[in-house]
Chain A
Amino acid sequence: MLNAHPDLTSSVLIGLGWYYLLLFLMNFVWTIRSYREDGEYANGLPRATGWATYSSILMMMSAYHFTYPPEGFLISLPEAFKAPFDRYFSNPVLYFFLTIVGLWALIALREWWTKPKVSFVLLNASLLFMGLSLTDFDFRQIVGKPDNVPIVAMLFILAFCTWISFRRAVDNDRRIAEGRPLFEQEDNEKVLVWPDLVYTELICMVVLTAVLIFWGIALKAPLEEPGSSVKTPNPSKAPWYFLGLQEMLVYFDPWLAGVVLPSIILGGLMAVPYIDFNKLGNGYYTFKQRSFAITTFLFGFLPLWVALIVLGTFLRGPNWNFFGIYEYWDVHKVEAANNINLSEFFWNGLGKGLPKGSGLNTILLREAPGILLILGYFMVLPPILGISVLRTYFVRMGVLRFLVFSNLILWMAILPIKMLLRWAFSLKYIVGIPEWFFNI
């Protein structure tokens, strides 16, 4: 019989053995905590029993990985899961919508998911999912690339930080509602920096140094073949922190995705303190008092920055095609792309055909629908917003501040808008003037 998992070498299994051992230790500590704090069921059984069982399973999994030879290994994701997962769940459209739903859940269900038990279950689920996925060769290829390891670590650290901030925000919002002092106002006496801060810093530095040295020993920095300007790798990727921008190249030309939008992101970040007129929420975690600011920021940071980096790093393969997490990066994968411009929609829709010619007037006439749309979007929409839905903002901000604010919001929205137009109508350019490199 053919070996179903020829790639599960013993080093992979031993690595996973350590992984499950750590997972076991984590859950073992949690079991003790649960035994002490959660009490018993009515029949006298400790509530920690479930955790104890789960921990034992993890320990046995760890032992199994350490001892079992690669042949006929039992614990792995079945093809019956991986193939449909790649086929039905792996495309940029669903990915983007899931990140949006995730953001919505993050905010709407914040009282629920920040509970230690719930979040611990979620953490366990994601770690177990990752552990099982690591038995897949293609998943390991991409997640285990040395430069990608920090990104995986970042995702867990980011999740942890988000958890802390939301937990504290939920707590503070409750305190505000009940008229109690904020968490940050309790025990807020002045203390001496020596020893309270300098020792924290010292410990932090020692731990970090140890982490960096361990990391440097455990994982070699990548070094590929000597650089050659003739051999173009496929895919060619920018450094990982720019992959969100590279992903935008699918929807926008380089002048927008690579120059204008990054500049606007930075300009917009710098403008934040000057357009956020809300005096509340200064120096403590809260959500309710700054719901708009925090939602907007999270929208920009989580789905539009971090999730796009994850997409660009882990899910974009040769020719920048989308690949499922268990899918082989096939250079010959073909994705049909028949995208058409707004001008073609418009003029063909009128039954007239595109105005032909390369004169200035012809080009402007040809692209008139798109140009009007863009002008309307950036020039007509802000005043309309100002006297309708965003009226309160307009009144409190004044004209100039409001124009900057509304334009930044509109700039932020053009990426998801263009994505939706692309997916729904195969729209290539809203304004397409390749003669001047002016495509939007």
Chain B
Amino acid sequence: MSVGEYIRNSQIWKSVFRHPAPTDRRNRVVVMLTNFFLHLHPVSIKQQGIALSYTWCMGGITFFLFLVEAITGVLLMFYYRPTLEWAFYDIQALRDVQTLGIMREIHRWGAHAMVITVWLHMYRVFLTGSYKPPREFNWVIGVLLLVLTLLLSFTGYLLPWDQLAIWAITVGSNMAKATPFLGVEGPGFQVFNTSGYELITNASDAKFLLLGGRFVGEATLNRFYILHCVAIPIVVSGLTAIHFWRIRKDGGISQPL
């Protein structure tokens, strides 16, 4: 008995993997049904549904990049402190001094790549008409995931607290000031400011809500940090689960039922 066989016949191995290696047809079916990670997939699938020239693999790559971002992000959270005093210098140290500081590079490039792969995924879904019945609602969830991906990237953009970061967020968040009815420079905010009450001021409008202050400052850093590391990822995880579940329930990624 070889070592490999000994290990595969041990009680420990068998308690983890409840079936023999997927070398024959039966076990290749069973592995998909019994493994938690694999059970996201169906047992069998139409050949065109997995042809790279058809799918471009962009949805899968997006999900993989999300996982990469989660892992590198958690590692970065061990090091980075979201305060005005430390934010910039922690990132600088990651770049210049720290072992595994490359996590920051991977995190940033992965984020850019994820924005791009989401677009390309939607491009493919549109061009193959895969949003058509019965998958209409999954496309809607996909659009929400697009928004959240952009917001994840946007909130993360601030965290290095360098010139690039704070001014990009300043430019972006200045838009909030012009929100109709809810921003101090938006049309129609005056309707909330009648009869002596000033409901919409620069300390209570949409921009203030976004930044936690009148301008990009410590409160903004804290706010964006929580959004970036906790709030948005939770929502994304939930929506992703629904997105995948619906693909299965709708009979695959494409083509009518």
A contact set with B: CB distance below 8 Å? 147, 150, 153-154, 157-158, 161, 164-165, 168-169, 184-185, 187-198, 200-201, 204-205, 208-209, 212-213, 215-217, 219-229, 231-233, 236-242, 245-246, 253-255, 257-260, 266, 269-270, 272-274, 276, 278-286, 290, 294, 297, 301, 433, 436-438
- Interface-lining segment among B9-17, B100-108, B234-242: B100-108
Q: Which residues of B have CB within 8 Å of A285?
A: 54, 127-128
Asked if A259 and B180 sit within 8 Å, CB to CB, the answer is yes
Known: A272-B139, A283-B130, A283-B255. A198 touches B105 (CB 8 A): no
**In whole Å, how far is A436's beta carbon from the nearest beta carbon of chain B?**
5
Residues of A within 8 A of B22 (CB): 194-195
Distance between B113 CB and nearest chain A CB, rounded to angstroms? 7
- Interface contact B186-A259, CB-CB below 8 Å: yes
* Residue among B42, B60, B112, B179 with the highest chain A CB neighbour number at 10 A: B112
Q: Given A208-B61, A227-B163, are A165 and B187 also a contact pair (CB < 8 Å)? A: no
Q: Is the CB of B45 within 8 A of A228?
A: no
- In chain A, what residue has the closest Cβ to B141? A270
User: How many Å lie between the Cα of A158 and that of B115 in the bound state?
Assistant: 13
Of B41, B113, B178, the contact of A255 (CB 8 Å cutoff): B178
The complex places the Cα of A272 from the Cα of B217 at a distance, in Å, of 39
In the complex with contacts A157-B116, A259-B175, A437-B185, A212-B162 CB distance below 8 A: no
B157 touches A239 (CB 8 A): yes
CB distance from A393 to the nearest CB of B (A): 17
A226-B88, A226-B161 as given contacts; A283 in contact with B129, CB under 8 Å: yes
Pairwise interchain contact B116-A223, C-beta atoms closer than 8 A: no
- The complex places the Cα of A212 from the Cα of B112 at a distance, in Å, of 11
Chain A residues contacting B105 (CB-CB under 8 Å) are 215-217, 219-221
Smallest Cβ distance from B112 to chain A, in angstroms?
A: 4
Nearest chain A CB to B80 CB, angstrom units: 13
Please name 21 pairs of A and B residues whose Cβ atoms are closer than 8 Å in the assembled complex, sorted by A. A158-B120, A161-B56, A169-B127, A193-B41, A197-B50, A208-B65, A212-B68, A215-B106, A216-B105, A219-B105, A223-B92, A231-B163, A237-B168, A239-B168, A245-B175, A272-B131, A283-B129, A283-B256, A294-B127, A297-B126, A436-B188
Tell me, rounded to whole Å, the shortest Cβ–Cβ distance linking B161 to chain A: 5
Whether B223 sits at the interface, judged by CB under 8 Å, is: no
- Asked if A258 meets B61 with Cβ closer than 8 Å, knowing A193-B41, A219-B109, the reply is no
Question: In the bound complex, how far is the Cα of B173 from the Cα of A246, in angstroms?
Answer: 12
Q: Is the interface on chain B under 10, 10 to 19, 20 to 34, or 35 or more residues?
A: 35 or more
Whole-angstrom distance between the alpha carbons of A196 and B92 in the complex?
44
The interface centre, meaning the residue of B171, B174, B177 with most chain A CB atoms within 10 A of its CB, is B171
- Provided the pairs A190-B47, A194-B28 are in contact, do residues A215 and B109 lie with their beta carbons within 8 angstroms? yes
Closest beta carbon of chain B to A264's beta carbon, Å: 12
Given A184-B255, A194-B31, A239-B153, A216-B102 contact (CB < 8 Å): yes
In the complex, what's the smallest C-beta–C-beta distance from B118 to chain A, in angstroms?
10
Whether B31 lies near A255 (C-beta < 8 A) is: no
Chain A residue numbers with a CB within 8 Å of B143 are: 266, 269-270
Contact of A254 with B177 in the complex, beta carbons under 8 Å: yes
Q: Is the CB of B52 within 8 A of A200?
A: yes
Docked Cα-Cα span, A191 to B120, in Å, equals: 26
Q: Are A242 and B154 in contact (CB under 8 A)?
A: yes
